[in-house]
Amino acid sequence: MKGQGLFAAALALVNVELVQAHTFIWGVFVNGVDQGTFRGMRVPAYNGPPPRGYANSPVKDVNSIDIRCNVLGDLQNPYTIKVQPGDNLTLDWKHNNRTNADDIIDFSHHGPILAYLSPDPPTENSFVKIFEKGKYEEGATPFAPGKWAISSELKANNGLMNVRIPAGLKAGHYLLRGELIALHEGDARFDQNPIRGAQFYPNCVQLEVVGDGTVELPKGVSFPGAYKVNDPGIHHDVYCSTKTTSLKVPCTSTYQIPGPTVWSGAWPDTTKVDVGPRSGPATATPWTRWISKSVVTSATIVGGSAQIIGSSTYQASWSANYATPTPVA
């Protein structure tokens, strides 16, 4: 009975956290054609058993390996999306389900959107920034956050984020790392106040670039390593971003997107693409493992319920050599 009570309490806690509008990538469109829900996606770990766990939590520690591709980012998806140089990719960010009615992310989560490209598997300094957009309009009154790529643009576009495969890119396997950085609590530093601090939403997509391109990615940055907790684009008060004088001191209205500059070989403009219908499930199907505080729990699904079969400590293990994903029958 005691165990059942603890389990019920845990489910209640998860239920409370579900109301928080977090987010991750549910699918990818290539030139407007959907590749299928979760196909090619390194889906972040669920934090509890089905149906109440969720995979849309942020990463907050910039020194954690999870900042690279989120929790479980080292595990391959059985499917890799084939693309060509110049293709337009549309990342479909969602909160609870893959429909146009989904709220994408909470309206308070102001911040930039970014995209990096790396050979797969990544190596030291292999992530190259190919797209970014941050604050593009200041607020008109004190403590108005202004207009940001996440809260004012991504939400208005139903969670669709457009990036483009660089021209002439050499054929091979790559990881596309899409990222949102929510700064609604960025006035605090995570290392000083772990309850607050900036929230990072990194997700990686497996790509195979085909064709006869010859352009190689230049030296990039490493994750972890590219960001520092005290970077001005991470430790930043969005409510200072106004045209008027703030009451806070010190307070700055300027914003510098963290990380390196966008690679000169990336497309200077990202074109909005009309997308077709989505394919695949609109909601998450039952999962057989979840991670909480570095403990991975494995289960079988019986009649829609999770039957626990074991648990162990999880530690990410990134391969140094590319291995062809094992297809699902």
Residue 135: what pLDDT? 97
Residue 142: what pLDDT? 85
Angle among Cα 129, 131, 133 to the nearest 5 degrees reads 125
Q: How many domains does the chain have?
A: 1
CB 285 within 8 A of CB 102: no
Per residue in 132-175, pLDDT (tens digit) is: 999 999 999 888 999 999 999 999 999 999 999 999 999 999 99
Task: Collect all residues with Cβ–Cβ distance below 8 Å to 32 and sequence separation of at least 6.
Answer: 88, 90, 273, 274, 275, 276
User: How far apart are the C-alpha atoms of 26 and 37, rounded to whole Å?
Assistant: 6
State the DSSP string of 82-143.
Answer: EE-TT-EEEEEEESSSSSTTS--S-TT----EEEEEEESS--TT-BEEEEEE-EEE-BSSTT
Question: How many whole angstroms from its chain centre is CA 114?
Answer: 9
Q: Is pLDDT above 60 for 216?
A: yes
Residue 318 placed within a domain? no
Residue 321 placed within a domain? no
Residue 146 placed within a domain? yes
Residue 271 placed within a domain? yes
CB 66 within 8 A of CB 47: no
Domain region containing 166 = 2-313
Question: How many whole angstroms from its chain centre is CA 192?
Answer: 24
Residue 246: what pLDDT? 62
CB 241 within 8 A of CB 146: yes
Q: Is pLDDT above 70 for 44?
A: yes
Per residue in 169-210, pLDDT (tens digit) is: 999 999 999 999 999 999 999 999 999 999 999 999 999 999
Q: How confident is the model at residue 18 (pLDDT cuts 50, 70, 90)?
A: very low
User: How far apart are the C-alpha atoms of 8 and 14, rounded to whole Å?
Assistant: 10
User: How far apart are the C-alpha atoms of 114 and 134, rounded to whole Å?
Assistant: 9
Give the global pTM: 0.92
Residue 23 placed within a domain? yes
Beta-sheet strand order (sheet of 295-302): 289-292, 295-302, 305-313
Per residue in 241-294, pLDDT (tens digit) is: 888 866 667 788 899 999 999 999 999 988 889 999 999 999 998 899 999 989
Q: How confident is the model at residue 14 (pLDDT cuts 50, 70, 90)?
A: very low
Residue 160 placed within a domain? yes
Residue 273 placed within a domain? yes
Residue 323 placed within a domain? no
CATH code of 65's domain: 2.70.50.70
Q: Determine whether 313 is exposed, middle or buried from the number of CB atoms within 10 Å of its CB (0-12, 13-18, 19+).
A: exposed
